Amino acid sequence: MAQKAIREYDGKALFSKQWGNYFSGFHYGFKSVLVTNGAELLAKAEEHGFEWLKQEALVAKPDMLFGKRGKNDLVLFKDKKPGDVSLAAAAKWIDEKIAHPTTLLSGQHGTLSHFIIEPFTPHSQEQEYYISATCVGEDDVLYMSAEGGMEVEEGWDEKVNEVVIPIDMSDADMEHAVKANIPADIPAENRASFTSFAIAFFQFYRDMNFAYLEINPIVMLEGNHMAILDLVARLDDTAGFLMRDTWGDIEYPTAFGMEDQSPEEKAVADADSKSGASLKLTILNPMGRVWTMVAGGGASVVYADTIADFAEANGGSIADLANYGEYSGGPTTGETKFYADTIVDLMTRHKDPKGQDKILIIGGAIANFTDVAKTFTGIIQSFEANADKMKEHNTKIYVRRGGPNYEKGLKDIKEAADRLGLYIEVYGPETHVTDIVRMALEK
Amino acid sequence: MNKLYTKDTQAIFWNNNKTAIQRMLDYDYTIKRETPSVAAIVAPTSGNKFEKFFYGPDEIMVPLFKTTAAAKKAYPNADVLLNFASFRTAYDVTMEAVALGGFKSIMVTAEGIPERLARKMNNTARNAGVTVIGPATVGAIAPGAFKIANIGGTIENIVQSKLHRSGSCGLVTRSGGLFNELSNIIAINADGIAEGVAIGGDRFVGSVFIDNMLRMEKNPDVKYMVLLGEVGGTEEYKIIDAIKAGQITKPVIAWCIGTIAKHFSSGVQFGHAGASANADAETAASKNKAMAEAGIYVPSSFNDLPATINKLYAELRANETISEIPEPDMSLVPKVRRSKEFICTISDDRGDEATYAGFPISSVATPDTGKGIGDVVSLLWFKKQYPKWATDFIETVMKTVADHGPAVSGAHNAKVTARAGKSVVEALVTGLLTIGPRFGGAIDGAAKYFKHADDNGMDPKAFLKYMKGEGVPIPGIGHRIKSLKNPDLRVTGLMKYASENFPATPLLDYARTVEALTTSKKENLILNVDGTIGILMVDMWRALGYEESEIDEFIESGTLNAFFIVGRSIGFIGHILDEKRLAMPMYRHPMDDILYDVPVAEKI
């Protein structure tokens, strides 16, 4: 539940869908397609309504949330000279790009898979503008500049006008504030239309529940034709229940270079979506030796912090930390067993390269209402099913937990581990929440 | 407001979250609060009027309301709203409460309210001077005074973490799970907390660290503060500014969790929605460093936090800023409790003398008390002390309906049964069982239909049309022989009493306009005694200040019939005793009074 980035294509599609409601004095063609390979692009060109792919010069670029595509040389706009990219050339270029991994200047590394293709729009630098809106502190801020493209980022302070719009500002006051702050260097003949576009842009950003919306550049052509050359957008996905019809079935891709979720992570995410409780799992290093099964969002963070600290202080590194995640909100015994099974399975797949013991941290703060004995029953069932594998990897288990019924939970898990011949140390609220990490890693 | 809550603070709980409310009441009992911390519950979809909860070994009833407005009206002093609505409705519930006014603080538990709505909600509340705790929080606690819902966990943990009495620390955290943990750490390494707030995990929360810490600075019980922040956001810098500006002078211990985030470039969300560093200044490490430089006590890691707290506490004890806190008496919540099968809210026989709605029987029984049977009815039926004009009216009604001769069906049944040799009670119930829609029921019906017509602004003509549509004759209209020219003197008497003693008789006035129309059609279609009683009862209740919905409920539950039952029992018993005295033989109905028409049954 947070702000989620969407593809440029989806952002433009939303503009197009709402254009008449917000930007009625302006025109927008929405000539964009999203494809994953060259063949798909060629097929698209045969569809009705997409004839322009064959008729116009094209621009192609990856649509995978990252910016600075120009600087990364990932915008195809010329073959021999600007504005001569044919359909065939674009398809070929896309196929080249998806054939090999790409490393960005930022260090992000991965294989390109989504591309947006649009007509090449001849225009002059004077026709480019910059506009964006986001929330800063408690207020919305609208940013406008007479200069678009890469120039705006150099010399931001001099070139960009900011309009702070408090949440309770009326539309009349907002319009007044925008008008008063239109950049002085916008040519007189474009001032009025830029102003009305900026006002509509803010209303669109606000009503569509964007968390961030940037067009850079927006190009104002003859006859109030607008070209959205580059767009970056994040939605507030908590508003999803209000916006279901308006947004449609929008996709939230993971950041470029982020490993696609493993089947285990997907299974946990799937279980999470079906449960009233919270189950989260991120694998940080499948070869790591310290695995965690921590109850509660805040506690999972302090355990991760503490493992990093003690690993580094004891000759290890952050790579020792294998996973991050949490279970909370009163999961059922079955859900807990599934979660424990997943983690035990992952941690017993690879022998530790240095031959060190594997460590399983079953941690948690003092629960508000989760029944500790009940959740531990699920973990115990998982131990019973996986004891041999765990012993094979010299798994040492450290438990710390408090909350409803914790005495029984701790007693049960200790008994079960002893019975199964597993190494275990068990602590309650009298021991500091993260002290088991010190105990485990200082040895 | 130096303190968020006191021992007198009462809340309205939005959503009938029984476990959480029970935990609050267990806490109240443990710390010996005089009033329960939950005054009322808002449960929009519940048909119940109250929910039973344990209060120590006993049970209490907490009233349920359908709307916040109704709950607030009934409990104007409850100035805390605990908004346990879902993320879909939490915004509306808060906005309504702020508009209603009278709430000092609103706690919002829902996680994932749309950010724009959360901002609007927080802003509106702030402008109205309402402190919002949350959204996405487990709440706040003023130990020894008031605890929200599940914060602190079980009652055992609360006592273990010294959350049952005020300590010296002001605690603010983002995380609710770690709030408990911090309370425990502070109990072990110091003397517990004086006030604690988990501000909530969403990006936009109503009151932030600084709001709560500036209040704690002014709270004399708070001697030092502990802040547990998180990676992301810049709220911690406001504390640094406040210290530099001299607005916070009490010692502060702080730690931001999420130092792990520096090891991972992007993509992994550590912690809450609000926890994501967009700039270097928002990282946990930068914030911890900046806070240490500003003179805040910052441990070297979360694992060292207990030692830091212990050290500062020892210093404050040594320089006598903090003195020993005496451990207060506690009540122990029993481990095993049994819910009561029956509830009684009208009388009590547990003391020296049984009482009627709080009044010893002797205080209403003898003539020198000045109380009559009408007073007893008002106490036992309505749990109120009605004024004399009303109790006199009740008695007048009962006297008026006491008997109507031997021929009416109820009296006839009673007489026949008595002659069969049955006892007084057997004969009486036979008569009483006759009472219903056709016998005596016109009182109920008249009250119901005339009130309905009046409530809906029907003129007499429209009312007659409506009753025709219903397919029933108008209850309370018509008499066998009486007419306007030959009035029923019982009716005349009741009306005279009402006009002289009731503050107003709007429904009777309306009924008279209906009567004017019906009698213009037929002489004997007058307002009869049943109609007059039913209608005047409604006027009585209106004059006594009852809500229309409460009056409707009286009618629905058959209260009006009850007046007839009690009154007519006097008459029935008279007839039964009469039969006994006369030693009348078994009654057999004369055969020549029966039409026999019995065909032979066909074979099928």
Is a pLDDT exceeding 80 seen at residue B278?
no
Same domain (yes/no): B381, B422: no
- Which residue in the set A2, A241, A369 is minimally distant from B273, CB to CB? A2
pLDDT digits (tens, 9 = 90+) for B242-260: 999 999 999 999 999 999 9
* Min distance A174 CA to chain B CA atoms (Å): 16
- In chain A, what's the furthest Cα-to-Cα distance? 84
Looking at residue A1, its pLDDT comes to 45
Q: What span, in angstroms and rounded, lies between the C-alpha atoms of A287 and A354?
A: 11
Helix (H, G, I), strand (E, B) or coil at B148: coil
Please give the domain boundaries of chain A with CATH numbers for all domains: 263-441 (3.40.50.261)
A305 contacts in chain B (CB < 8 Å): 257-260, 284, 301-302
Chain A's closest residue to B124, CA to CA, is: A168
Same domain (yes/no): B150, B284: yes
Same domain (yes/no): B369, B450: no
Is a pLDDT exceeding 90 seen at residue A155?
no
pLDDT digits (tens, 9 = 90+) for B60-115: 999 999 999 999 999 999 999 999 999 999 999 999 999 999 999 999 999 889 99
- Concatenated DSSP letters of B503-521: S--HHHHHHHHHHHHHHHH
**Is residue B531 a part of any domain in this protein?**
yes
Q: Is A242 an interface residue toward B (CB < 8 Å)?
A: yes
**Is residue B594 a part of any domain in this protein?**
no
CB contact under 8 A, B184 and A254: no
The pLDDT of B168-181, averaged and rounded, is 93
Q: Which CATH number covers residue B65?
A: 3.40.50.261
Q: How far is CA A306 from CA A296, B84, B261, B421, B447, in A?
A: 15, 34, 12, 91, 73
Residue A231, CA atoms < 13 Å, CB-side half-sphere = 28
Q: Is A21 an interface residue toward B (CB < 8 Å)?
A: no
Identity of the amino acid at A361: I
Q: Is A49 an interface residue toward B (CB < 8 Å)?
A: no
Is a pLDDT exceeding 50 seen at residue B584?
yes
- Which residue in the set B111, B177, B230 is minimally distant from A1, CB to CB? B111
Which residue segment(s) compose the domain that B43 sits in? 11-318
Q: How far is CA A31 from CA A45, A56, A64, A230, A239, in A?
A: 12, 11, 18, 13, 28
Q: What span, in angstroms and rounded, lies between the C-alpha atoms of B560 and B442?
A: 10
Highest mean pLDDT pick, A66-75, B280-289, B493-502: B493-502
Is a pLDDT exceeding 70 seen at residue A340?
yes
Same domain (yes/no): B191, B297: yes
Looking at residue A63, its pLDDT comes to 96
- In chain B, what's the furthest Cα-to-Cα distance? 113
Window 182-201 of A, Cβ < 8 Å to B: none
Burial class for B601, CB neighbours closer than 10 Å (0-12, 13-18, 19+): exposed
CB contact under 8 A, B116 and A365: no
Q: What span, in angstroms and rounded, lies between the C-alpha atoms of B79 and B304?
A: 39
The kind and range of the H/E element at B82 are strand B80-83
Same domain (yes/no): B172, B307: yes
pLDDT digits (tens, 9 = 90+) for A310-325: 999 988 899 999 999 9
Q: Is A323 an interface residue toward B (CB < 8 Å)?
A: no
Looking at residue B32, its pLDDT comes to 95
Window 282-301 of B, Cβ < 8 Å to A: 284, 301
B404 is catalytic: no
Contacts of A282 (CB under 8 A, 6+ apart): A265, A323, A324, A325, B268
Chain A's closest residue to B148, CA to CA, is: A368
CB contact under 8 A, B301 and A306: yes
The pLDDT of B232-249, averaged and rounded, is 94
pLDDT digits (tens, 9 = 90+) for B501-524: 999 999 999 999 999 999 999 989
Contacts of A116 (CB under 8 A, 6+ apart): A7, A8, A9, A32, A33, A34, A60, A61, A62, A63
Q: How far is CA B596 from CA B587, B588, B592, B593, in A?
A: 20, 16, 9, 9
A302 contacts in chain B (CB < 8 Å): 178, 257, 302
B163 contacts in chain A (CB < 8 Å): none
End-to-end CA distance of chain B: 86
Angle (CA) A74-A75-A79 rounded to 5° is 110
Q: What span, in angstroms and rounded, lies between the C-alpha atoms of B589 and B600?
A: 24
**CA proximity to B169, closest of B147, B196, B129:** B196
Same domain (yes/no): B376, B425: no
Using the CB atoms, write b or e for A122-160: b if 16+ within 10 Å: ebeeebbbbbbbbbeeeebebbbbbbbbeebeeeeeebb
The pLDDT of B154-177, averaged and rounded, is 93
pLDDT digits (tens, 9 = 90+) for A237-246: 999 999 999 9
Looking at residue B318, its pLDDT comes to 96
Q: Is B175 an interface residue toward A (CB < 8 Å)?
A: yes
H helices of A275-405, in order, are 297-313, 333-347, 372-392
Looking at residue A306, its pLDDT comes to 95
Q: Is B279 an interface residue toward A (CB < 8 Å)?
A: no
**Is residue B334 a part of any domain in this protein?**
no
Looking at residue B52, its pLDDT comes to 94
Strand order in the sheet with B252-257: B146-147, B139-142, B193-198, B169-173, B224-230, B252-257
Q: Is B307 an interface residue toward A (CB < 8 Å)?
A: no
Is a pLDDT exceeding 60 seen at residue A370?
yes
**Is residue B193 a part of any domain in this protein?**
yes
Q: What span, in angstroms and rounded, lies between the C-alpha atoms of B452 and B389?
A: 25
The pLDDT of A380-389, averaged and rounded, is 96
Looking at residue B308, its pLDDT comes to 97
Window 68-127 of B, Cβ < 8 Å to A: 87-88, 111-117, 119-120, 122-124, 127
**Is residue B24 a part of any domain in this protein?**
yes
B185 contacts in chain A (CB < 8 Å): 432-433
The pLDDT of B309-337, averaged and rounded, is 93
Looking at residue A109, its pLDDT comes to 87
Contact B284, A17 (CB under 8 A): no
A vs B: CB pairs below 8 A: 170
Q: What is the mean pLDDT of chain B?
A: 93
* Min distance B53 CA to chain A CA atoms (Å): 18
CA B312 to chain CA centroid, Å, is 45
CB contact under 8 A, A297 and B157: no
**From the DSSP assignment, how many helices (H) and strands (E) are in chain B?**
22, 16
Q: Is A177 an interface residue toward B (CB < 8 Å)?
A: no
Same domain (yes/no): B414, B371: no
- Concatenated DSSP letters of A63-77: -SS---TTTTT--B-
Which percentage of chain B shows pLDDT scores above 90?
86
The last residue of one of the domains, among B298, B318, B338, is B318
- Which residue in the set B138, B174, B258 is minimally distant from A368, CB to CB? B138
The pLDDT of B337-351, averaged and rounded, is 91
Q: What span, in angstroms and rounded, lies between the C-alpha atoms of B220 and B398?
A: 63
pLDDT digits (tens, 9 = 90+) for B435-467: 987 888 789 899 999 999 999 999 999 999 999
Is a pLDDT exceeding 70 seen at residue A304?
yes
Indicate which residue of B164, B263, B272, B404 is catalytic: B272
Same domain (yes/no): B533, B451: yes
Strand order in the sheet with B355-356: B347-348, B355-356, B359-360
Angle (CA) A416-A422-A427 rounded to 5° is 70
Domain count across chain B: 3
CB contact under 8 A, A282 and B268: yes
Looking at residue B233, its pLDDT comes to 84
Q: Is A161 an interface residue toward B (CB < 8 Å)?
A: no
CB contact under 8 A, B188 and A258: no
pLDDT digits (tens, 9 = 90+) for A388-441: 999 999 999 999 999 999 999 999 999 999 999 999 999 999 999 999 999 999
CB contact under 8 A, A305 and B154: no
Looking at residue B369, its pLDDT comes to 95
B178 contacts in chain A (CB < 8 Å): 296, 298-299, 302, 365, 433
The pLDDT of B541-570, averaged and rounded, is 94
Looking at residue B267, its pLDDT comes to 56
**CA proximity to A87, closest of A133, A131, A124, A119:** A119
The kind and range of the H/E element at A96 are helix A87-99
B127 contacts in chain A (CB < 8 Å): 168
Q: What is the DSSP letter of A318?
A: G
The pLDDT of B187-209, averaged and rounded, is 94
CB contact under 8 A, B260 and A301: yes
Is a pLDDT exceeding 90 seen at residue B272?
no
Window 188-227 of B, Cβ < 8 Å to A: 188, 201, 203-204
* Min distance B129 CA to chain A CA atoms (Å): 16
Same domain (yes/no): B370, B283: no
End-to-end CA distance of chain A: 38
Window 209-228 of A, Cβ < 8 Å to B: 209, 211
Looking at residue B271, its pLDDT comes to 61
Q: Six-digit token pair at A340? A: 């424990």
Looking at residue A345, its pLDDT comes to 95
Looking at residue B180, its pLDDT comes to 92
Is a pLDDT exceeding 70 seen at residue B273?
no
Q: Six-digit token pair at B493? A: 């008497």
Same domain (yes/no): B364, B432: no
Looking at residue A151, its pLDDT comes to 76
The kind and range of the H/E element at B533 are helix B529-543
* Min distance A7 CA to chain B CA atoms (Å): 16
Same domain (yes/no): B425, B550: yes
Q: What span, in angstroms and rounded, lies between the C-alpha atoms of A175 and A169?
A: 10
Looking at residue B302, its pLDDT comes to 94
Q: What is the ipTM, given to two decimal places?
A: 0.89
Same domain (yes/no): B29, B100: yes
* Region of poorest pLDDT, from A248-262, A322-336, B454-468: A248-262
Q: What is the DSSP letter of B359?
A: E
Burial class for B539, CB neighbours closer than 10 Å (0-12, 13-18, 19+): buried
* Token pair 């916006």 in the structure block, residue: A243
Contacts of A326 (CB under 8 A, 6+ apart): A278, A279, A280, A294, A295, A296, A297, A299, A300
Contacts of A148 (CB under 8 A, 6+ apart): A128, A129, A130, A216, A217, A218, A219, A229
Q: Which of A164, A241, A368, A435 to mutate to test the interface with B (most CBs of B within 10 A)?
A: A368
Contact A405, A374 (CB under 8 A): yes
Which percentage of chain B shows pLDDT scores above 70?
98
Chain B's closest residue to A243, CA to CA, is: B114
Chain A's closest residue to B125, CA to CA, is: A168
CB contact under 8 A, A300 and B151: no
